[in-house]
Structure 1
Amino acid sequence: MGATFKGGIHTYDGKELAKDKATALLLPKGEMVYPMSQHIGAPAKPIVAKGDYVLAGQKIGEAVGAISANVICSVSGTVKAVEPRLTVAGTMVESVIVENDNEYKTIENFGTKRDYGKLSKDEIRNIIKEAGIVGLGGAAFPTHVKFTPKDDNKIQYVIINGAECEPYLTSDYRMLLEEPEKVISGLKIELSLFPNAKGIIAIEDNKPEAIAKVKALLTNESKIEVRVLKTRYPQGGERVLIYALTGRKISSKILPFEVGCIVSNVCTAIAVHNAVAETTPLINRIITVSGDAVKNPGNFNVRTGTNYNELLEAAGGFKSKPAKVFSGGPMMGQAMFTVDVPVSKTTSGLVAFLEDEVAEFDSTACIRCGRCVEVCPSRVIPQKMYEYAVHSDAENFVKADGMECCECGCCSYVCPAGLRLTQSFKQMRKSVLDSRKK
């Protein structure tokens, strides 16, 4: 039996639509849009201007402040403008717009292999920073900051999150099958920063081919092991993953490094390998396009800045007009009202459905069934949090541990009353965090 946690749900995962589709390379043709905010923290500052000629691999946005990340151009071409553009989140964000010349010229030394064993810790961290790498599992926390805890010696586990519990998404799974050597190399680079740490590659038990392939490559590795997880959503959430593997608990007030853990996504580990071992900054994402509204679901290697319309075209387009479209998966993804937006570092999927089951469900009053409590991986009481959230009672929402919500959507999924629990929690948590910043 695999490692697991209390709570969670078993959803229809829809992974059969794309899991056996090998990753296809998609080279963009149209204009490229690079938002300066593709990460948690301060937006990057544009360092190019209209008329400048830029190359693939060139830094066009510079990190500002302690928590920020560089933005790297993924094509060669001419800067058309630096102006606000619409993003997946529905907000206008200052962006660099590049007219792709379709020549894909690169900066000097792009792709050059190097021996990371000869690099110091500071050099490795600076390479990761310059490469613009952020967490590619969804949070988009700047990776160089995550890899710089207060004391390197206190880190005991470096975990590669290969759970990929979000329904329909299969990009991490494909990378475990297609580029496991890079995943392991990225983990080894991360381990080189933390002398007392062991490596864990965590994979859910519904991915036996990936488990077998990675295990075969680790036969002679004493510091790295594969740990099998029980298939359950949200097994890939950072908090529940750490608890399932180590028994250690973290909360909104505690960061993983404070309990001796560092967690990276599969694609983040590959990005670390590419940057440190192959002098290639973060300019691409592996993205799943899936759902019953998509003609040819699959997985694509896409350059950041590419318009979602090109991504959709590569998957054959929609069968008919979809009722619901998500950037990411249906549980934690962002619902979209247009696909005329750019792919960013945070893009993991494009999932579209012919029917919107949630919209067709009329909500009623809470019936106090307790199902939301049973499935909550954060072990809070969603029904009480909901009462405070709908009345904008921030003080009692916080007292009810509302800030411990991981916004996984399990409570909304099982609620027989059809209450918009997760949505209300997201809004209240954002309100609390904004007030704290002020």
Structure 2
Amino acid sequence: MESIVERISRQHFWSFHGGVHPPEQKELTNNKPIKHLALPKQLILPLQQHIGRQGDLLVKVGDTVLKGQPLTASSNPMAVPIHAPTSGRISAIKPSVIAHPSGLSELCIFIDVDGEERWIERKACQDITQLSNQEIINKIANAGIAGMGGAGFPTHIKVNTKPDINFLIINAAECEPYITADDLLTCEHSESIIEGIQILDQLLNPAFILIGIEDNKPKAIAALQQASKGLEKIKVCVVPTKYPTGGEKQLIKVLTGQEIKSGSLPIHQGIVMQNIATCFAINEAIRHDTPLLQRVVTVTGQALAKPQNVWALLGTPVSHLLEQCGFDNKGMVRSPVIMGGPMMGFSLSSDMVPIVKISNCILAPSAKEMPSAFTGASQEVECIRCGQCADVCPSQLLPQELQWSAKAKDYPQLAKLNLSDCIDCGACAYVCPSHIPLVQYYRVAKAEVRQQQQADLKAEKAKLRFEARKKRLEQEKIARELKHKKAAEARKAAMNKATPEAVEAKSAVAAALARVKAKKAASKQVEPSETITPDNVAQTAEPAQQDAKAKVAAAIARAKAKKQAQQEKDTETNKLDSADADKKAKIAAAVAKAKAKKQAGNETLPVSSEESASKESTNEENTNKDSKLDKKSAAIAKAKAKALAKKQQSAEESAPETSTDSTMNHSEDAAPAEQVTPQNDAQSKKAAIIAKAKAKALAKKQQSTEESANESASQASTDSTMNHSEDAAPAEATEPAEQVTPQNDAQSKKAAIIAKAKAKALAKKQQSTEESANESASEASTDSTMNHSEGAAPTEAIKPAESAESTEQIKPQNDAQSKKAAIIAKAKAKALAKKALAEQKNTGQNGNDLNQSNE
């Protein structure tokens, strides 16, 4: 450390690699004082005028603002606010062209100047020792101060450092040709600058404060030495003029001999650097409560009539500055205007670009002064690999290789070649014999690399968000499944813990609820208004406090049980019928065999006259006996038919009574007779019609059954008569009469037995048919009752006469059919008896004739 201080005291400094000595051209403006310009008609303020992020808007279109009023707020450490440079009205907030080599547009605030220069309230501070470091830092941040040397880094972040600071370096070199803004500011406001340096000293407390300034600024050097007299900590260091001594790393190398490694910052080596214009702005903000509203701008060039330094409000269009300095572009091919110096500046695409915090020069050269500004890049030729660019590069890079990689967009190779260390000084382009604008290639490549880095950063953040979301969803799924599992286990445990008493209590509660519902339904019923007469078949009962649904269910269950029993009976009857048919076939076969044997025996027996006479008498007796048996059988069949008819009639009478009973039960359970709706009346009529149709079908079936029975009986009698006639002896036979009579008698008995069995089977079948008809009528009545109980409350009374009428309509029809069937059966029985008697007489007469002929 002692050697560095000694060298500084002897004004013996180090040097850096490369550098050039271009024509200075500072004499155009360094001998004129800073000029205050007239207010422009409109100011254009970009929201972002520094490295970092833009602040949040605090105003809107139409608002009136005062001078010094903040227009944005700092919501981020890298966000610096902007303020209204003068009073006026916000006329627009929209994108506009900004000071950028690519001519980009960003969001800007347009202020129509009112010319009144009305300030906001301010509080000056004469004794800065009363303020704490944090208060000073907050004031610097709220004043919107950023590095005014060209980098634009937020000052409040740079001065808020905790490590020990060895050197605080104040950059006053201003090595760029043409630019004299810092030179004139130092000459006119050296005391304010020294006060600003003292504020930084209070914040950083460095070991040494070094002010680096080139030897081509004698007036500024003298002013600084005079202002810092008596301050041993501050050293004014006059360094040789060489471009780019004003670079941060280059000035540190010159003053301290230390090199800042690639990717490292000066703060890592205990060094902090601030521009001399920044020190002036810090003093104005802390002592006078004045935010950064204006700065000194060098407006120079041979194309101007009055080049000089001016105080330009932030947001002032470049066209206003050129107009104030006498810019005349008549006769020119185009109007070349450069923001910045000839080495590091860039051409403007529009003269409406506003002045910002880092703008320090507006250059308007003539064609003779700077031909390249008019011809552009048309003189560019291929690189001849002379290497002069590498020799003058202050950062010790390889400019030609950087240019090749930038053209090829080889970003990894650019990173290897340390493109980020390039300070865009333009020394390489200045010495290039091929007139290659190397700095332009580097700026484009840097922008593309930054965009790629931002895209990669966004992709990485998106990946992290996706992975975090995926992990969160998986955790939620696991938690949800675990929750469901626990709930299922809890339900299962609760079911297992349920005691019989709890189950019984639950059943009791359900039964109580059912009773309550039944009572509620019964309470809605209305008392009957009419009395049913005894002439009606069904009588209306008073409403009972019973559950209608339970009775209906019981009725349905009974009907289903009856139907099932009937189906079982029908199955048994079918089995008996098949057994009777087999038995009949076997009996017929046996009779045929007996007849054949008897006929064979009768053919060989002789007969005498007495025997024939006795035989004739015997035959007559047998005939009489057979006729008596036939009459008896007919009478029996007639009696059975009458009994069957009566039984059928009683069954039919019981069917409507059952329907009437079900109707009465329904009326007792559900509602009074006078409240039955027309819908239920129609259902009752429909049930009566169905019962009537079923009775008709039953009568027809009975009639066909009786006709088949009569035909069977007639066929059996005919067969017995034929057998009897065939069994008689021929003319040669002499069989006695005693042998014929028992045979006829046996056949008649056999026929009677068969007829009796058929009559029994027919009666059983008829009985089952009647029972099924009764069940159908009962089911129909039950269905009508259910429909009535489930429907709405009845509004009209059912007339019992209708039910009786339907019953009377069914009964006479069934009675007539039964009588008709009985008469037919009786007639058939008589015809069968007559036929059998006639055949017997014919058989006896033939036998007598044969006997006489034999005699």
TM-score when normalising by structure 1: 0.96
Question: Which region of structure 1 is more displaced relative to structure 2, 312-321 or 387-396?
Answer: 312-321
* 1:197-239 residue CA offsets vs partner (Å, 9 max, x unmatched): 3211111011122112211222210110101111011110111
Unaligned runs of 5+ in 2: 1-11, 456-855
Contact 1:157 1:197 in 2 (8 A): yes
Which whole-Å CA distance do the structure 1 matches of 2:335 and 2:94 have between them? 31
Which whole-Å CA distance do the structure 2 matches of 1:416 and 1:280 have between them? 48
Equivalent residue, structure 1, for 2:348? 336
Which whole-Å CA distance do the structure 1 matches of 2:231 and 2:186 have between them? 17
State the one-letter code of the partner of 1:220.
Answer: G
Alignment of 1:222-241 (within 5 A): 222-241=232-251
Contact 2:181 2:297 in 1 (8 A): yes
* 1:94 maps onto 2:104 in alignment: no
- How many angstroms does 1:184 deviate by? 0.7
Contact 2:168 2:206 in 1 (8 A): no
State the one-letter code of the partner of 2:198.
Answer: K
Question: Which region of structure 1 is more displaced relative to structure 2, 180-189 or 214-223?
Answer: 214-223
Equivalent residue, structure 2, for 1:106? 119
State the one-letter code of the partner of 2:133.
Answer: K
Which whole-Å CA distance do the structure 2 matches of 1:121 and 1:233 have between them? 36
Of residues 170, 173, 195, the one that matches 1:185 is 195
User: Which SS does the other structure have where 1:68 is aligned?
Assistant: coil
Which whole-Å CA distance do the structure 2 matches of 1:344 and 1:334 have between them? 15
Equivalent residue, structure 2, for 1:368? 385
Equivalent residue, structure 2, for 1:174? 184
- How many angstroms does 1:196 deviate by? 3.4
The runs of at least 4 aligned residues of structure 1 exceeding 6 Å deviation read none
State the one-letter code of the partner of 2:106.
Answer: V
* 1:32 maps onto 2:46 in alignment: no
Of residues 342, 348, 371, the one that matches 1:357 is 371
* 1:120 maps onto 2:132 in alignment: yes
User: Which SS does the other structure have where 2:17 is aligned?
Assistant: coil
- Structure number with higher relative contact order (C-alpha < 8 Å, ≥ 6 residues apart): 1
User: Which SS does the other structure have where 1:72 is aligned?
Assistant: coil
Contact 1:251 1:404 in 2 (8 A): no
- How many angstroms does 1:252 deviate by? 4.9
Contact 2:67 2:118 in 1 (8 A): yes
- How many angstroms does 1:416 deviate by? 0.8
Of residues 75, 79, 82, the one that matches 1:64 is 75
Unaligned runs of 5+ in 1: none
Alignment of 1:206-285 (within 5 A): 206-285=216-295
Which whole-Å CA distance do the structure 2 matches of 1:51 and 1:64 have between them? 24
State the one-letter code of the partner of 1:104.
Answer: E
Which whole-Å CA distance do the structure 2 matches of 1:157 and 1:135 have between them? 18
Which whole-Å CA distance do the structure 1 matches of 2:45 and 2:280 have between them? 21
Which whole-Å CA distance do the structure 2 matches of 1:196 and 1:214 have between them? 19
State the one-letter code of the partner of 1:93.
Answer: E
Of residues 387, 390, 395, the one that matches 2:412 is 395
User: Which SS does the other structure have where 2:397 is aligned?
Assistant: coil
Contact 1:114 1:279 in 2 (8 A): no
Which whole-Å CA distance do the structure 2 matches of 1:164 and 1:286 have between them? 13
Question: Which region of structure 1 is more displaced relative to structure 2, 390-399 or 124-133?
Answer: 390-399
Of residues 156, 161, 166, the one that matches 1:144 is 156
Equivalent residue, structure 1, for 2:62? 51
Which whole-Å CA distance do the structure 2 matches of 1:262 and 1:190 have between them? 10
Which whole-Å CA distance do the structure 2 matches of 1:299 and 1:333 have between them? 17
* 1:197 maps onto 2:210 in alignment: no
* 1:316-349 residue CA offsets vs partner (Å, 9 max, x unmatched): 1235446521111111112112111221112111
Equivalent residue, structure 2, for 1:430? 447
Contact 1:323 1:354 in 2 (8 A): no
Aligned-residue sequence identity (percent) comes to 36
Contact 2:314 2:354 in 1 (8 A): yes
State the one-letter code of the partner of 1:341.
Answer: V
Equivalent residue, structure 2, for 1:418? 435
Which whole-Å CA distance do the structure 1 matches of 2:401 and 2:134 have between them? 47
Which whole-Å CA distance do the structure 2 matches of 1:342 and 1:427 have between them? 22
User: Which SS does the other structure have where 1:83 is aligned?
Assistant: strand
Which whole-Å CA distance do the structure 1 matches of 2:225 and 2:435 have between them? 43
- How many angstroms does 1:113 deviate by? 3.9
Contact 2:14 2:253 in 1 (8 A): no
Equivalent residue, structure 2, for 1:287? 297
User: Which SS does the other structure have where 1:189 is aligned?
Assistant: helix
Question: Which region of structure 1 is more displaced relative to structure 2, 24-33 or 312-321?
Answer: 312-321
Equivalent residue, structure 1, for 2:495? none
Which whole-Å CA distance do the structure 2 matches of 1:102 and 1:431 have between them? 43
Of residues 77, 88, 92, the one that matches 1:77 is 88
- How many angstroms does 1:2 deviate by? 5.5
State the one-letter code of the partner of 1:357.
Answer: P
Of residues 400, 403, 423, the one that matches 1:383 is 400
* 1:225-266 residue CA offsets vs partner (Å, 9 max, x unmatched): 101111011110111111111122224511221111111111
CA distance 1:19–1:373, change in 2 (3 Å): same
* 1:296 maps onto 2:283 in alignment: no
Equivalent residue, structure 2, for 1:315? 325
Larger radius of gyration: 2
Which whole-Å CA distance do the structure 2 matches of 1:4 and 1:357 have between them? 32
Q: Which structure has more strand as a fraction of its residues?
A: 1
User: Which SS does the other structure have where 1:416 is aligned?
Assistant: coil
CA distance 1:3–1:183, change in 2 (3 Å): farther
CA distance 1:113–1:317, change in 2 (3 Å): farther
Which whole-Å CA distance do the structure 2 matches of 1:121 and 1:325 have between them? 42
Contact 1:364 1:419 in 2 (8 A): yes
Question: Which region of structure 1 is more displaced relative to structure 2, 84-93 or 268-277?
Answer: 84-93
Equivalent residue, structure 1, for 2:590? none
* 1:404 maps onto 2:418 in alignment: no
User: Which SS does the other structure have where 1:324 is aligned?
Assistant: coil
Contact 2:55 2:72 in 1 (8 A): yes
Question: Which region of structure 1 is more displaced relative to structure 2, 361-370 or 335-344?
Answer: 361-370
User: Which SS does the other structure have where 1:300 is aligned?
Assistant: strand
* 1:16 maps onto 2:66 in alignment: no
CA distance 1:2–1:85, change in 2 (3 Å): same
Which whole-Å CA distance do the structure 1 matches of 2:121 and 2:126 have between them? 14
* 1:18-42 residue CA offsets vs partner (Å, 9 max, x unmatched): 1111001123130111110101111
Which whole-Å CA distance do the structure 1 matches of 2:200 and 2:41 have between them? 36
